[in-house]
């Protein structure tokens, strides 16, 4: 497979995952806002800003709500736009159904944005994004050959997911350190975190509705069956990278698989007690390893130097 094509498929999927995740985080917070007074909401929107990568400092008179909305909207529409642009570059490599879905999503978002639905009915707007993003993923899995290209799509999706969830956990545990008594407001925040990862119902099935931060951490980090847990994402990423490595012929290299395997093994074998002791480091480590995997993929498969490739 051409390196450029692999790169486009990877980014197409990564951008779409990013848009979907942002839409979910934003939707959850908007929902919470309806139930609680505006007082606690500033903190919450600062948290959203942090999860989008904006940690400030912000001007004193800035409105975190407006700021977070604007950034999130840009991330969503931009993400969908970039996903489509990447798909357009490799149209002959993806199925027509995929292209049609993605194209439709892009035009729908543009239409809703210009029709002002974003302002008047933000939750409906976000529901359209989530639904369409699921549709694209479903169509991808059921119409595209599960070959090398599909594997790059998987890697893009799950690397984005693992890093985003780790970042979100990091922000929450930084603000609400574990092991302290919880008031009702905080209770709502943990529900918010779970909802941001579509995890509330799944969590309840495993632990009942008894919310405890360590359990939330365990579930979102270490659960091997839930699609929006870091471990699940890391496992899928590792599988796909192994498949890509198998297909890579002369570029076969243990390097990427090793880093991905390390991330996966860390999540699989580190006991919860150990994780809880150094949560912040653990989260930071996951994000760092995701970044390293990203760099390694590009160095091994996409932007390798000609000299290195000729000698092989």
Partner 1 sequence: MATPGIDEPRIASGPFSSYVLDSAFDEMFDAQRRPRQHYRALYELLLSLPVEEMRRKKQAADVSFLHQGITFTVYGRDEGTERIFPHDLLPRILTSAEWETIERGLTQRITALNFFLRDIYHEGRCLADGVVPREMVYSCKHFRRQMRGVTAPKNIYVAVMGTDLIRLPDGRFVVLEDNLRVPSGVSYMLTSRQVMKRIFPELFQYTDVRPIDHYPEVLLTTLRALAPEGRGEPNIVLLTPGVYNSAYFEHTYLARQMGIELVEGRDLVVHDNVVYMRTTGGLRRVDVIYRRVDDDFIDPLAFRSDSILGVAGLFNAYRAGNVTLANALGTGVADDKALYAYVPKLIKYFLGEDPILDNVETFLLTEPAERRHVLDHLEKYVVKAVGESGGYGMLIGPHSTAEQREEFRQLIEADPRNYIAQPTLMLSRAPCFFDGKVEPRHVDLRPYILCGDKVTIVPGGLTRVALRSGSLVVNSSQGGGSKDTWVLQ
**CA–CA separation, 134 vs 128, rounded Å?**
10
State which residue, 148 or 235, has the beta carbon closest to partner 1.
148
Is residue 250 within the footprint of partner 1 (CB under 8 A)? yes
State which residue, 66 or 312, has the beta carbon closest to partner 1.
312
- Using CB under 8 A, pick the residue from 17, 20, 148, 235 that binds partner 1: 148
- Using CB under 8 A, pick the residue from 43, 74, 91, 134 that binds partner 1: 91
Cβ-contact 40, 108 below 8 angstroms:
no
Q: Count residues contacting partner 1 (CB under 8 A)? A: 23
Closest to 93 in 3D by CA, of 51, 144, 162, 42: 144
Is residue 145 within the footprint of partner 1 (CB under 8 A)? no
Provide DSSP, 66-121: HHHHHHHHHHHHHHHHHHHHHHHHTTTTS-HHHHHHHHHHHHHHHHHHHHTHHHH-
Spatial neighbors of 262 by CB under 8 A, at least 6 apart, are: 289
Is residue 255 within the footprint of partner 1 (CB under 8 A)? no
State which residue, 209 or 249, has the beta carbon closest to partner 1.
249
Is residue 30 within the footprint of partner 1 (CB under 8 A)? no
The least distance separating partner 1 from the CB of residue 149, rounded to whole angstroms, comes to 10
**CA–CA separation, 146 vs 152, rounded Å?**
10
How far from the centroid of its chain's Cα atoms is residue 272's Cα? Answer: 23
- Using CB under 8 A, pick the residue from 4, 43, 74, 174 that binds partner 1: 4
Contact letters for partner 1, residues 289-308 (x by CB under 8 A):
------------xx-x-x--
Kindly identify the residues of this chain, within the stretch 92-131, that bind partner 1 according to CB under 8 A.
92
The least distance separating partner 1 from the CB of residue 77, rounded to whole angstroms, comes to 19
**CA–CA separation, 135 vs 6, rounded Å?**
22
Cβ-contact 173, 280 below 8 angstroms:
yes
The site for partner 1 (CB under 8 A) is made up of 1-4, 6, 88-89, 91-92, 148, 244, 247-251, 301-302, 304, 306, 309-310, 312
């Amino acid at each position: 497979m051409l390196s450029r094509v692999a790169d486009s498929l990877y980014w197409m999927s990564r951008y779409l995952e990013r848009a979907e995740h942002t839409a979910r985080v934003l939707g959850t917070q908007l929902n919470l806002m309806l139930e609680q007074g505006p007082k606690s909401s500033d903190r919450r929107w600062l948290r959203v800003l942090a999860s989008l990568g904006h940690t400030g400092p912000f001007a004193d008179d800035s409105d975190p709500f407006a700021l977070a909305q604007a950034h999130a909207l840009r991330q969503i529409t931009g993400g969908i736009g970039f996903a489509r642009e990447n798909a357009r570059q490799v149209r002959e490599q993806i199925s027509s159904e995929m292209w049609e879905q993605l194209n439709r999503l892009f035009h729908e978002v543009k239409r809703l944005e210009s029709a002002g639905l974003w302002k008047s009915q933000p939750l409906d707007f976000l529901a359209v994004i989530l639904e369409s993003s699921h549709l694209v993923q479903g169509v991808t899995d059921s119409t595209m050959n599960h070959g090398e290209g599909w594997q790059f799509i998987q890697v893009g999706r799950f690397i984005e997911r693992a890093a985003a969830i780790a970042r979100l956990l990091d922000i929450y545990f930084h603000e609400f350190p574990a092991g302290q008594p919880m008031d009702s407001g905080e209770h709502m925040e943990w529900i918010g975190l779970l909802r941001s990862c579509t995890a509330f119902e799944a969590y309840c099935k495993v632990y009942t509705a008894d919310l405890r931060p360590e359990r939330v951490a365990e579930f979102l980090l270490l659960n091997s069956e839930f699609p929006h847990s870091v471990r699940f994402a890391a496992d899928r990423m590792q599988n796909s990278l192994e498949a890509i490595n198998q297909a890579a012929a002369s570029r076969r290299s243990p390097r990427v698989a090793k880093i991905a395997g390390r991330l996966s093994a860390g999540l699989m074998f580190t006991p919860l007690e150990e994780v809880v002791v150094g949560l912040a480091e653990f989260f930071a480590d996951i994000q760092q390893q995701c970044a390293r995997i990203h760099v390694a993929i590009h160095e091994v498969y996409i932007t390798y130097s000609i000299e290195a490739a000729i000698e092989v």
